[in-house]
């Protein structure tokens, strides 16, 4: 089955700096890669996703890149703000296969004011 | 749309008692997932249903856990008997699995077993 590894487990950045979180996956058939943000005491919420037919996707300060050859994908947050502080999870699955999402172990991002 | 609805939001019970968690998926979604989240083990998939049929229950910890989905708009996760190590936040999520796959999470049920 799929195995997703996520690094780093914790990340502290100064407000205004960029943050990068990386994930690798094992199943070459995976083609859908969402990222979730979970604030303390709240539910995981989708912030961005990417499918294997594109290499990069951006949404304002958030971007995700995908390298299918190397089987890794990354979340990039630019101009970080204190409200970006949360746990971020990556995930992978084979779209439309009725397989479940396989989640990474999460990254605790802290943005220091 | 109200999103995924879970009840109760908090449950405190004593060891040995039966606990039932409830979930109403987003209308039109055909897949439903139950997760457990703890500090030690992170986010674990317990079971998921596709078109009301259980597809994979390999994440269910043991026979004390059971889940049902009697119709497209309701699912339950039951723990009987409950143990202190079952204390966690239980999330339900739903998705429309026809090439979209985005899972939307409910607010979770925080379970404390004393």
Name the residue with tokens 């300060």: A61
Q: What is the DSSP string of chain B?
A: ----EEE-SEEEE-TT--EEEEEEPPTT--EEEEEEEETTTEEEEEEEEETTEEEE-TT--STTEEEEEEETTEEEEEESS--GGG-EEEEEEEE-TTTT---EE---EEEEE-
Task: Encode pLDDT of A36-94 as tens digits.
Answer: 999 999 999 999 999 887 889 999 999 999 999 999 999 999 999 999 999 999 999 87
Contact A89 B43 (CB under 8 A): yes
Q: Quick one: tokens of B27? A: 């209308």
Contact A46 B104 (CB under 8 A): yes
pLDDT at site A100: 77
Environment class of residue B84 by beta-carbon count within 10 Å: exposed (0-12), middle (13-18) or buried (19+)? Answer: exposed
Contact B48 A100 (CB under 8 A): yes
Task: Encode pLDDT of A7-39 as tens digits.
Answer: 999 999 999 999 999 999 999 989 899 999 999
B98 to chain A, any CB pair closer than 8 A? The answer is: yes
pLDDT at site B113: 97
For residue B68, give every residue at least 6 positions away whose Cβ sits within 8 Å of its Cβ, in sequence order, or none: B75, B76, B78
* Closest partner CB to B102 (pick from A34, A98, A103): A34
Residue A95 has pLDDT above 80, yes or no: no
CB-based contact B79:B19 (threshold 8 Å): yes
Chain A residues with at least one Cβ partner in B under 8 Å: 32, 34, 36, 42-46, 49, 89, 93, 95-96, 98, 100-101, 103, 105-106
Task: Encode pLDDT of B57-105 as tens digits.
Answer: 888 988 999 999 999 999 999 999 999 999 999 999 998 866 567 889 9
Q: If you average pLDDT over residues B14-35, what whole number do you get?
A: 95
CB-based contact B52:B68 (threshold 8 Å): no
State the Cα–Cα distance between residues A60 and A71, nearest whole angstrom: 25
How many other β-carbons are positioned within 10 Å of the β-carbon of residue A84?
Answer: 20
In A, which residues are within 8 Å of B31 by CB distance? Answer: 98
pLDDT at site A97: 65
Closest-CA residue in chain A for B103?
Answer: A46
């Amino acid at each position: 089955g799929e195995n997703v590894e996520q690094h780093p487990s914790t990340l502290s950045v100064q407000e205004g700096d960029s943050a990068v979180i990386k994930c690798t996956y094992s199943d070459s058939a995976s083609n859908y890669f969402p990222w979730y943000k979970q604030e303390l005491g709240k539910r995981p919420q989708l912030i961005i996703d990417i499918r294997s037919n594109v290499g990069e996707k951006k949404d304002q300060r958030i971007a995700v890149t995908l390298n299918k050859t190397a089987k890794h994908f990354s979340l990039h947050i630019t101009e970080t703000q204190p409200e970006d502080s949360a746990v971020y999870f990556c995930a992978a699955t084979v779209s439309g296969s009725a397989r479940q999402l396989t989640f990474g172990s999460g990254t605790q991002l802290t943005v220091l004011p | 749309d109200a999103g995924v609805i879970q009840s109760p939001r908090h449950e405190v019970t004593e060891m040995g008692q039966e606990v039932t968690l409830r979930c109403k998926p987003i209308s039109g979604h055909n897949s439903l997932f139950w997760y457990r989240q703890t500090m030690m083990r992170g986010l674990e998939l317990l079971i998921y249903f596709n078109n009301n049929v259980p597809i994979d229950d390999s994440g269910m910890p043991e026979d004390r856990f059971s889940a049902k989905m009697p119709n497209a708009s309701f699912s339950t996760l039951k723990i009987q008997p409950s143990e202190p190590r079952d204390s966690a936040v239980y999330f339900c999520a739903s998705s429309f699995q026809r090439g979209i796959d985005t899972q939307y999470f409910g607010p979770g049920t925080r379970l404390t077993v004393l």
